[in-house]
């Protein structure tokens, strides 16, 4: 009865259009009040006390850093570098979008922020070169999904906190899977461009052009080096690295590139505060929801059920991937990580999977959820930024989505792609 009431109320509220945070909180309160002997006050206490966490402080700082970088001239220089490197290839503008998103992802840590920053430049540029509007927006939305894989990444921070896994190790683990997903998107971009005769910029870069573009973007490219280098040199923790990234972005935008006015700084802080407020509410009620599930032994029951279906690790991972792809269509990334990590982590560790590898699989599935309706946050951002109809984007997403799933399967069934770098570099 407890399980039925908890999930029943949650899905009814979701169907009615109640925001995810309120759906999580209200379903927990109703279940606690009518199906247990505990006081509903426990849910509120859990939501509040769960936020008293030093690692969670990384999230607002990374959000602020991403906002400052979006408006501080960094995205423009990264786009120029990507354009110089691969813009001349067939379908080069689509590939530039993917590569620039990978660069920007290594700075902002946010999928929607990447789509907004890169899409505002690239979608109009692709349309000017006769790319279809649907494809231009679809590849931009898909490339933005890489933002949650390449470090620093807010979802990887969240998984590290919930799964008690080293956040630094998770950052390192996301590098190769992020590159693989980016390469898969470049391949599908090339194939579609070849079929539809989409051209590149036509200008093959000289060594001088490349060096000039690298020089202009060097301060932006230093950010991931500072973050990861500082963590593994023992200079600062992952949480402190987020604060360093925010301060660095502020200094570069205001005093070096001089493209951030003090009015822009104020607006960036306001935007980051609003985004963080919504995120904090989701995290708090997600942890309350997860606490109630753990209290009622729901993760154990689900784990026993999955393991009872089959003892084949290959089949278990396939079931988990299908489940996570469906979840990503309806539930936002942070909520899904907080709710599902306690459920699925015992299942995968029971078949000998490294928690770091599972964390990457979890986040990769949810990254695909950024571009799958009905939630599809990146799709809606691309629709707004590119002024493209939602139907046109969804139609163009089909081959791109297939390649994203292929990249997921590659990472799922070849664990060293996730674990080799952290195993080599972790202290």
pLDDT > 70 fraction of the chain, expressed in percent and rounded: 98
Q: Which of 14-28, 193-207, 291-305, 384-398 has the lowest mean pLDDT?
A: 291-305
pLDDT of residue 39: 79
Task: Answer yes or no: is pLDDT of 234 > 60.
Answer: yes
pLDDT of residue 176: 94
Cβ-in-10-Å burial (0-12, 13-18, 19+) of 204 comes to exposed
**Residue that wins the pLDDT comparison between 329 and 401:** 401
Mean pLDDT across the chain: 85
pLDDT of residue 107: 67
Question: Do 186 and 95 contact (CB within 8 A), yes or no?
Answer: yes
Model confidence at 368, in pLDDT bands (50, 70, 90)?
A: very high
Task: Answer yes or no: is pLDDT of 106 > 70.
Answer: no
Model confidence at 135, in pLDDT bands (50, 70, 90)?
A: very high
- Reference 36, options 9, 8, 3, 7; nearest CA is 3
Mind listing the pLDDT tens digit for each residue in 166-186?
A: 988 999 999 999 999 999 999
Task: Answer yes or no: is pLDDT of 345 > 60.
Answer: yes
- What is the phi/psi pair of residue 19, to 5°? -55, 150
Rounded to 5°, angle at Cα 142 from 136 and 148? 145
Close Cβ partners of 366 (under 8 Å, ≥ 6 residues apart): 148, 155, 324, 327, 328, 333, 336, 337
Task: Answer yes or no: is pLDDT of 109 > 70.
Answer: no
Model confidence at 47, in pLDDT bands (50, 70, 90)?
A: confident
pLDDT of residue 427: 54
Task: Answer yes or no: is pLDDT of 127 > 80.
Answer: yes
**Residue that wins the pLDDT comparison between 201 and 29:** 29
pLDDT of residue 246: 87
pLDDT of residue 426: 60
Task: Answer yes or no: is pLDDT of 402 > 90.
Answer: yes
Task: Answer yes or no: is pLDDT of 393 > 70.
Answer: yes
Give the mean model confidence (pLDDT) for residues 48-74: 79
Show me where the domains of the chain are located. 1-49, 54-280+297-425
Model confidence at 290, in pLDDT bands (50, 70, 90)?
A: confident
Task: Answer yes or no: is pLDDT of 68 > 70.
Answer: yes
pLDDT > 90 fraction of the chain, expressed in percent and rounded: 22
**Residue that wins the pLDDT comparison between 346 and 407:** 407
Give the mean model confidence (pLDDT) for residues 59-76: 79
Question: Do 119 and 381 contact (CB within 8 A), yes or no?
Answer: yes
pLDDT of residue 108: 64
Give the mean model confidence (pLDDT) for residues 117-126: 83
Q: What pTM was computed for the model?
A: 0.84
Question: Do 307 and 316 contact (CB within 8 A), yes or no?
Answer: yes
Give the mean model confidence (pLDDT) for residues 65-86: 81
Give the mean model confidence (pLDDT) for residues 238-263: 87
Model confidence at 410, in pLDDT bands (50, 70, 90)?
A: very high
Gap between the Cα atoms of 148 and 144, Å rounded: 8
């Amino acid at each position: 009865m407890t399980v039925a009431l908890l999930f029943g109320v949650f899905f009814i509220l979701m169907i009615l259009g109640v925001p995810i945070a309120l759906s999580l909180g209200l379903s927990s309160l109703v279940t606690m009040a009518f199906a247990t002997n505990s006081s509903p006050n426990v849910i509120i206490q859990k939501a509040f006390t769960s936020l008293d966490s030093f690692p969670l402080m990384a999230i607002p700082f990374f959000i602020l850093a991403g906002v400052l970088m979006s408006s501080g001239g960094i995205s423009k220089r990264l786009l120029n570098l990507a354009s110089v490197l691969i813009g001349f290839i067939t379908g080069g503008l689509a590939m530039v979008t993917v590569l620039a998103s990978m660069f920007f992802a290594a700075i902002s840590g946010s999928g929607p922020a990447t789509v907004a920053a890169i899409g505002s430049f690239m979608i109009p540029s692709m349309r000017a070169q006769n790319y279809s509007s649907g494809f231009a927006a679809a590849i931009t939305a898909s490339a933005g999904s890489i933002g949650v894989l390449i470090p620093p990444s807010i979802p990887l921070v969240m998984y590290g906190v919930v799964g008690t896994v080293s956040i630094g190790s998770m950052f390192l683990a996301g590098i190769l899977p992020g590159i693989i997903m980016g390469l898969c998107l470049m391949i599908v971009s090339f194939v579609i461009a070849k079929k539809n005769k989409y051209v590149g910029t036509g200008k093959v870069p000289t060594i001088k052009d490349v060096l000039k573009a690298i020089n202009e973007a060097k301060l932006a490219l230093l950010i991931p080096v500072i973050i990861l280098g500082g963590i593994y040199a023992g200079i600062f923790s992952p949480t402190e690295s987020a604060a360093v990234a925010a301060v660095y972005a502020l200094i570069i935008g205001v005093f070096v590139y001089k493209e951030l006015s003090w009015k822009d700084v104020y607006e960036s802080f306001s935007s980051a505060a609003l985004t963080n407020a919504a995120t904090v509410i989701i995290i708090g009620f997600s942890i309350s929801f997860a606490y109630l599930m753990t209290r009622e032994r729901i993760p154990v029951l689900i784990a026993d059920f999955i393991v009872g279906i089959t003892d084949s690790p290959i089949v278990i991972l396939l079931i988990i991937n299908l489940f996570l792809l469906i979840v990503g269509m309806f539930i936002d990334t942070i909520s899904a990580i907080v709710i599902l990590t306690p459920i699925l982590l015992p299942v995968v560790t029971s078949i000998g999977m490294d928690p770091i590898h599972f964390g990457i699989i979890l986040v990769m599935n949810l990254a695909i959820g950024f571009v799958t309706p009905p939630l599809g946050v990146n799709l809606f951002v691309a629709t707004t930024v590119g002024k493209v109809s939602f139907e046109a984007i969804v139609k163009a997403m089909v081959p791109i989505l297939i390649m994203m799933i292929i990249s997921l399967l590659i990472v799922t069934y070849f664990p060293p792609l996730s674990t080799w770098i952290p195993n080599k570099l972790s202290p």
